[in-house]
A and B are shown apart, each in its own frame.
Chain A
Amino acid sequence: GAGVSQTPSNKVTEKGKYVELRCDPISGHTALYWYRQSLGQGPEFLIYFQGTGAADDSGLPNDRFFAVRPEGSVSTLKIQRTERGDSAVYLCASSVGTSRSTDTQYFGPGTRLTVL
């Protein structure tokens, strides 16, 4: 079946611009996660959705970052007034969404964002 997909695969933008990154989770997965991975580092948690609501947004670095999941499926990560330090690979993952520790997260291929 289809895995997690993310679009675009690459995004180049200029400092100060607004960008939107999209994630299509695996069908039926209620939990969706956004992570950010800087060069040479492990991913860092940004936000986690259970259904339509953000259950944990403690990883969003500041109020320039916002994410939505209006219908409990596709999610969009929005970054306002982009800065060069926002350049990273943005990873999305989804899982069935049980509260058990065995709930496996499946990762998308990521969107590489470059802010010039």
Chain B
Amino acid sequence: KNEVEQSPQNLTAQEGEFITINCSYSVGISALHWLQQHPGGGIVSLFMLSSGKKKHGRLIATINIQEKHSSLHITASHPRDSAVYICAVRRGAQKLVFGQGTRLTINP
């Protein structure tokens, strides 16, 4: 079993829908990251969380440390949000362990 599990693996939605991507982990962590990867490989860090909730524009990330679970929400989704969203947990000082990613497609 992977240390970091994401669901769903693939998600297709219509423009404007509210999107939720889930991440569960089974190990102790010092922080959790949500990353966005566009076709061609470039990875951008969206959020880094160690507790609570963060919001940036239409993106919201939450984490429940006790339940070892995090969610990434996208409000008013847009086709430009189409990408792979990756959850990664920080083990110790530096090492990141990644989930397998969620491929999101937003249709106009």
Chain A positions within 8 Å of B, measured between CB atoms, are: 31, 33, 35, 37, 40-45, 48, 50, 55-56, 89, 91, 93, 95, 99, 101-107, 109-110, 112
What CA separation (Å) do A41 and B100 show in the bound complex?
5
The residue of chain B having its C-beta at the shortest distance from the C-beta of A48 within the complex is B94
Within 8 A of A (CB), among B59-105: 86, 88, 90, 93-101
Q: Interface size (B, Cβ < 8 Å)?
A: 24
Partner among A42, A55, A99, A101 whose Cβ is within 8 Å of the Cβ of B86: A42
Chain B positions within 8 Å of A, measured between CB atoms, are: 4, 30-31, 35, 40-45, 48, 50, 86, 88, 90, 93-101
Nearest chain B CB to A11's CB is how many angstroms away? 13
Which of B30, B50, B93, B95 has the most CB atoms of chain A within a 10 A radius of its CB? B93
> Given A31-B94, A103-B94, is A91 in contact with B41 using a C-beta cutoff of 8 Å?
yes
Residues of B within 8 A of A48 (CB): 94-95
What CA separation (Å) do A89 and B93 show in the bound complex?
25
The residue of chain A having its C-beta at the shortest distance from the C-beta of B43 within the complex is A107
Chain A interface mostly helix, strand, loop or mixed? strand
Partner among A45, A102, A104 whose Cβ is within 8 Å of the Cβ of B95: A45
- Is the CB–CB distance between B41 and A89 below 8 Å? yes
What CA separation (Å) do A102 and B99 show in the bound complex?
19
Nearest chain A CB to B89's CB is how many angstroms away? 10
- Is the CB–CB distance between B98 and A42 below 8 Å? yes
What CA separation (Å) do A42 and B84 show in the bound complex?
10
> Given A101-B31, A101-B50, A101-B90, is A45 in contact with B45 using a C-beta cutoff of 8 Å?
no
Residues of A within 8 A of B35 (CB): 107
- Is the CB–CB distance between B41 and A101 below 8 Å? no
What CA separation (Å) do A50 and B106 show in the bound complex?
40
The residue of chain B having its C-beta at the shortest distance from the C-beta of A42 within the complex is B98
The residue of chain A having its C-beta at the shortest distance from the C-beta of B94 within the complex is A48
What CA separation (Å) do A102 and B47 show in the bound complex?
10
Residues of B within 8 A of A43 (CB): 43, 86, 88, 96, 98
| 5 closest cross-chain pairs (CB), A and B | A42-B98, A110-B41, A107-B43, A101-B30, A101-B31
